[in-house]
Structure 1
Amino acid sequence: MAINNKIKIKKIIAMGANFRPDATAMPYSNINKYWKYRMLIESKIIEKDTTKN
């Protein structure tokens, strides 16, 4: 984007560009917590849960 645009871009921020939920991105103990939380979120989406928590 910064190379191909004709306008001057002063700063570029890349967030989570190389995020992979494995031992290279986070400790192994956190990977299990991540997947459990993700499964909980997906189940709430399927249930169409509208609570704030």
Structure 2
Amino acid sequence: MAQRITITLPDNLHERLQMFKESLNVSGVCQQAIDLAIQIEEIKLRTLRQ
């Protein structure tokens, strides 16, 4: 099951996104970025516990 969230973009980033909105899977890009950020935090946490 998937959960919905809302993100806020600065105006300049939103304007730039409009040009590529049709060719980008924005949800997929956000999912990948969040997953990568979580992986980095998990690595940091494991490193601190050692």
Q: Shared fold by TM > 0.5? A: no
Higher relative contact order at CA 8 Å, sep ≥6: structure 1 or structure 2?
1
Higher helix share: 2
Give the TM-score normalised by structure 2: 0.44
